Each structure stands twice: as C-alpha cells, then as structure tokens.
C-alpha cells in the first residue's frame, strides 16, 4: 500500500533511535522511498552510514547543506508525502510546538505542509512533565498525529510510560494516513486461538494454537482502519471489540451473530474437529481399569457453513499441515469453498504454534498461489490483509 510513497523520517537524540533502522527496512520492503534527517544528537545513537545504507539516500544533518542550489529543508518538504519524527525527544517536541527552527529537522517540520506523525520516546518523568504534556496537546490541536509511548522497561532502568511504540503501529499509522480509502470502516471478523472441548469440569481436549497469528491480523486490521471483531479463546485486552469463547460451538454462535454485517472473515483459529459426545457434568474418577474410552463426535464445520451462506463476504480459511502442505491445502480450499486459504507447516519448530514467526502459502479460489517467506507474524499479517484487499 506504500509503494512509491515518499516518506521522510526525522530522528532525534534518544536511545530508541536504533529502532528506527528496522522501521526504515519495513518502509523499504513496502517499496516506499525513504529519506532521513537527523539532529546532531541522534548521531550519538545511530550512524549516518547505517541510515544511508538502509534508506539508500543521503542523510541530512547540517542545517544549510545546499545541494543542487536547493535549500535542503525546503527540498525535503517538496519531495515528501509525509514526515515521521521518531523517536521524538522532549526537546524536539517542545521546539516544534513553539515554532523554533534551529536545526535541519525542526526547520523542515516548520516548513512542512503535509501530514506529520510524531512518535515520542523519553524517560517517564520527562513524559509526565506538565510542560511536555501541554506541548503534546498543543500539537494534537494543530492536527499533528501523536502516537503515545508505551509503558515498559526503559533504558534508564525505570519501568513506566515513555518507551517508543512498536514499529508496526508507526508503519500502519503511516499507511492509514496515506491511504484514506482504508478508513471506510469495513467490518472484519477474525478468529484466534485453539478451541477447548470439555471432557468433564476439570479436563478437556484442545490443541497447541497460541492465537498469535489471529491476534496479529486483528491488530493490523485495526491499525488500518477496519472495524474489528476478534473472536478468541484467549484472554486479551484490546481497543477493538473482543469476544472470548471456549468451544467450537461457542465460536460458531459468536460468528453467526456478527456475520451478516461483516465484509471479511478470517478464520485463523484452530477449531477442534471433534468434541466429547457425552461430556460428564462431574469429575471422572480414576478406576482400577488401565484404559478409558472417550467417544468423540464431529463439531460443526464452521468454515464450510460460512462459505455456504455468504453473500458479500470475503472468507479466508487457515490450515495447519504436517505433511503434503500444498496438496492438502488445494483439497481443503476446494472442499470448503473459501475465497482464500492460508496454509502453514506445523512440523517445523521455528514457525507456527507459539512462535512469533511464520511462513505461509496463500491459495486463492481462482488458482493463484503466493508464498510468504519466514517473517514475523506481524509482517505476515500485513501481507495477508494486502492480498485479500486486492
């Protein structure tokens, strides 16, 4: 979605400056053009050579380094579609809020007439300083986009609010601003986690699904402006609508209530194929027998049922395979009737269940196949959404 967009990144002096190297790589992987301007203090935390290598452009630091007879900060404002100041120090935030333009970065901001994202990162005491908060509020009123810092362990040794937010949030906010069509609030239902089928009040049948893939898709969709409904077996706290369920039947009922008004359904949950036929209402006691027999019966095929009754919805299924990945995936998309099927190999220890990484193949009903190489699930989530949106 960011292909051929011109993104100007402003880096200020803070320990979080090193994290922006990965943000540059994310923009470049999305085929955006990236240029970087830095304060002099930023050079204490990241090198000019590193930033030039990653952005594949010269890095601006000096205030009036005139090239080709163009005043540099004006040239940047003409070139860029958006400016992202990250990390933004207390000092730079205060300068911007009060119109001070004493270096290349602040001069560029002062002259910039397009969207600006400011991503603060600093010590908790500095962030909570009333003067800094007043300056942040001032910038919000002036239509700057502020992405608040996170709470966590800081470089100074303290634990509090002030840590740079996740790069994925910066990336998705950039995407949302530059692609306003994504703000149309399409409704997307995403399922996550492994369902639980009770044997008795203390025992159950389930699987190893962590729910991380579904959660990554939900976060990505929310950051892109979707109306998200996450139906999950895991307890999570999110800014979008979340419904916690337990069994396959619970999940089916929750989806059915949201289905008619949805535009997209992504079935990333690992739904149990079978449940105990006659689950006990009381704890089963151990007996002298060496064996116990449980009779299992099929759960409803949620994915197939949704595909059979869909109207306007785009439906994405998932399958986890331990062998013959492509063959089994092709058979499943044919049997289920979904628009897309995302398949991953669970025989590998470095991806899939409980891992932060995945490697998948996306099959479409028209026969197209797209392979996504091993990457963080947050990046895989973006690629999945890009595929179904196109």
- Cα–Cα distance between 140 and 374 in angstroms, integer? 38
Across the chain, how many H-helices and E-strands are there?
13, 20
What is the token pair recorded at 211?
A: 């729910």
Catalytic: 156?
Answer: yes
Q: Find, among 131, 128, 195, the residue nearest to 162 by Cα.
A: 128
Do residues 347 and 322 lie in contact, with contact meaning Cβ atoms separated by under 8 Å?
Answer: yes
Please list, in sequence order, all residues whose beta carbon lies within 8 angstroms of the beta carbon of residue 197, skipping any fewer than 6 positions away. 204, 205, 206, 247, 248, 272, 274, 275, 276, 279, 299
Q: Find, among 79, 72, 85, 88, the residue nearest to 32 by Cα.
A: 79
- Cα–Cα distance between 323 and 345 in angstroms, integer? 7
Helices 20-29 and 167-178, axial angle in degrees (round to 10): 40
CA angle centred on 275, ends 274 and 279, rounded to 5°: 160
Please tell me which residue in 38, 156, 165, 338 is annotated as part of the active site. 156
Do residues 33 and 178 lie in contact, with contact meaning Cβ atoms separated by under 8 Å?
Answer: no
What is the token pair recorded at 188?
A: 């997307």
Tabulate helix, strand, coil % of the chain (nearest 5).
35, 25, 35
Residue labelled with tokens 């992405």: 147
Give me the residues paired with residue 228 across strands.
Answer: 188
CA distances (Å), origin 26, targets 80, 113, 190, 382:
17, 25, 24, 11
Residue labelled with tokens 């800081």: 154
Residue labelled with tokens 């449940």: 275
Three-class DSSP category at 128: coil
Residues with a catalytic annotation lie at: 156
């Amino acid at each position: 979605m960011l292909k051929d967009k011109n993104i100007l990144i402003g880096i200020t002096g803070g320990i979080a400056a090193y994290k922006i190297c990965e943000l540059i790589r994310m923009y470049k992987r999305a085929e955006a053009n990236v240029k970087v301007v830095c304060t002099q203090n930023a050079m204490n935390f990241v090198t000019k050579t590193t930033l030039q290598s990653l952005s594949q452009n010269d890095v601006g630091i000096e205030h009036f380094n005139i090239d080709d007879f163009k005043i540099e900060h004006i040239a940047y404002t003409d070139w860029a579609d958006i400016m992202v100041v990250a990390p933004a120090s207390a000092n730079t935030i205060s300068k911007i809020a009060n119109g001070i333009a004493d270096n290349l970065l602040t001069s560029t901001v002062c002259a910039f007439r397009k969207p600006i994202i400011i991503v603060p990162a600093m010590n908790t005491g500095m962030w909570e300083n009333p003067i800094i908060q007043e300056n942040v509020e001032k910038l919000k009123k002036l239509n700057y986009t502020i992405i608040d810092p996170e709470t966590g362990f800081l470089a100074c040794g303290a634990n509090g609010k002030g840590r740079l937010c996740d790069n994925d949030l910066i990336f998705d906010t950039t995407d949302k601003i530059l692609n306003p069509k994504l703000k149309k609030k399409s409704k997307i239902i995403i399922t996550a986690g492994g369902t639980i089928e009770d044997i008795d009040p203390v025992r159950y049948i389930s699987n190893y699904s962590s729910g991380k893939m579904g959660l990554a898709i939900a976060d990505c969709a929310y950051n892109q402006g979707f109306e998200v409904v996450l139906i999950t077996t895991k307890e999570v706290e999110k800014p979008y609508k979340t419904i916690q369920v337990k069994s396959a039947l619970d999940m089916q009922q929750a989806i059915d209530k949201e289905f008619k008004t949805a535009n997209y359904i992504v079935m990333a949950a690992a739904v149990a194929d079978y449940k105990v036929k006659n689950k006990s209402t009381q704890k089963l006691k151990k007996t002298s027998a060496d064996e116990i027999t449980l009779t299992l019966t099929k759960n409803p095929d949620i994915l197939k049922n949704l595909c059979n009754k869909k109207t306007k919805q785009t439906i994405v299924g998932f399958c986890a395979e331990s062998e013959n990945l492509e063959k089994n995936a092709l058979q499943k998309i044919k049997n289920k009737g979904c628009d897309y099927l995302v398949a991953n190999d669970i025989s590998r220890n470095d991806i899939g269940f409980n891992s932060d990484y995945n490697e998948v193949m996306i099959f479409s009903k028209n026969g197209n196949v797209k392979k996504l190489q091993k990457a963080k699930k947050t990046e895989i989530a973006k690629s999945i959404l890009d595929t179904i949106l196109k």
